[in-house]
Amino acid sequence: MSVVKLAILGVGLIGGSLGLCLKEKMGDKIFIGGYCRTQVSMDEALRLHAVDFVHDEVAKVVTDADIVFLSPPVLQIVPLVEQILPHLKPGAIITDAGSTKGYIWERLQKILPPNIYYIAGHPMTGREKSGVAAAKADLFRGKAYVIVDGTNAPPAAQTKLMEVLRHTEANFLHLSMEEHDRSAAIISHIPHVAAAALVTLLADSSEESAAEKLIGGGFKDTTRIASSNADMWADICLTNGEPIIKNIRRLQQILDTVAEDIETQNRPALHAYFARAKESRDKSLLATGKIFDTN
């Protein structure tokens, strides 16, 4: 088997974790070039052995690459593709870790030549920490990894990509663009918006000083993801706006109903609200836990 040449553009938490995993599993059968914007990130990526080679000029990283893995904030993906297209060899595969898919594909399909293949992906994993220093070789293991259908990549390209990605030990599933973006809004994007809202509620409260002394597991667990990368989440909101807005409005309606039940002292309704939520959560986690690692 010839050496696979992989370029990772954005050697942060996700890109760095992929590099660590593939070097650990594939060794000399893969050569990984990394693109970072700062010298600190480049030095750290090399120190951790997440890449074999690193540079701050993207053209030097993607030249002769078999696979290009994009993991910057979503709004940077299309400009990066525009930048690298002149330097890609025929048959190169572009994939990504973008949390929204329709926005990216709508733009890429207008610029991709017929001999460059895009296979949309989204590993459903992460940490509240960011940067390559937070990368872990087992970050993908057991987690859902969506391969999004509808980009017309030939079967041979998909097979070639999966021969590499299978080393992550993720659980792969296929969704359409629309299914992915609607589902991600509910189970990923809205929770991040809500977690940030809870932190903002505390920060804006006149009781902030006293309340901070009472912070325990409940607040920390509920708001953990609010410590995630702000660039990434601003881009996600702007590129998956319709389903995010729709579900924010629905969440507002749910909270308005709870407020009304509290105001009217409607204990049966409040009890039903919490009981139904517990039942639904337990059922969902039980079903999902049989397939994916939800921790």
Lowest model confidence (mean pLDDT) among 37-41, 80-84, 136-140, 164-168? 37-41
Q: Where are the domains of the chain?
A: 4-175, 180-289
Q: Are 81 and 61 in contact, with CB atoms under 8 Å apart?
A: no
Amino acid at residue number 23 = K
What percentage of the chain exceeds 70 in pLDDT? 97
CATH architecture of 4-175: 3-Layer(aba) Sandwich (3.40)
Nearest to 234 by CA among 42, 74, 23: 74
Enter the tokens of residue 253.
Answer: 């309606």
Which H helix or E strand runs over 52?
none
Q: How far apart are CA 13 and CA 64, in angstroms?
A: 25
pLDDT of residue 215: 82
What is the CATH number assigned to the segment(s) 180-289? Answer: 1.10.3660.10
Place of tokens 């903002």: 200
DSSP assignment letter at 48 = T
* Mean pLDDT, all residues of the chain: 92
Q: Are 88 and 114 in contact, with CB atoms under 8 Å apart?
A: no
Q: Are 19 and 9 in contact, with CB atoms under 8 Å apart?
A: no
Q: Are 130 and 228 in contact, with CB atoms under 8 Å apart?
A: yes
Amino acid at residue number 236 = I
Q: How far apart are CA 131 and CA 227, in angstroms?
A: 13
Query: What pLDDT, in 10s, does the model give residues 240-290?
Result: 999 999 999 999 999 999 999 999 999 999 999 999 999 999 998 887 776
**Average pLDDT estimate for 187-201:** 94
Is it true that 4-175 and 180-289 share their CATH fold? no
* SS3 at position 40: helix
pLDDT of residue 125: 86
Residue 127 pLDDT more than 80?
Answer: no
pLDDT of residue 103: 95
31: β partners: 5
Which H helix or E strand runs over 227?
none
DSSP, residue by residue, 206-270:
TTHHHHHTT--HHHHHHHGGGGS-HHHHHHHHHHSHHHHHHHHHHHHHHHHHHHHHHHTT-HHHH
Instruction: 261-270: list long-range contacts, CB under 8 Å, 24+ apart.
Output: none
* SS3 at position 4: strand
DSSP, residue by residue, 108-168:
HTTT--TTSEEEEEEE----S--SGGG--TTTTTTSEEEEE--S---HHHHHHHHHHHGGG
67: β partners: 6, 93
Q: How far apart are CA 103 and CA 181, in angstroms?
A: 9
Residue 295 pLDDT more than 70?
Answer: no
- The neighbour count for residue 224, using CB atoms within 10 Å, is 12
pTM beyond 0.85: the answer is yes
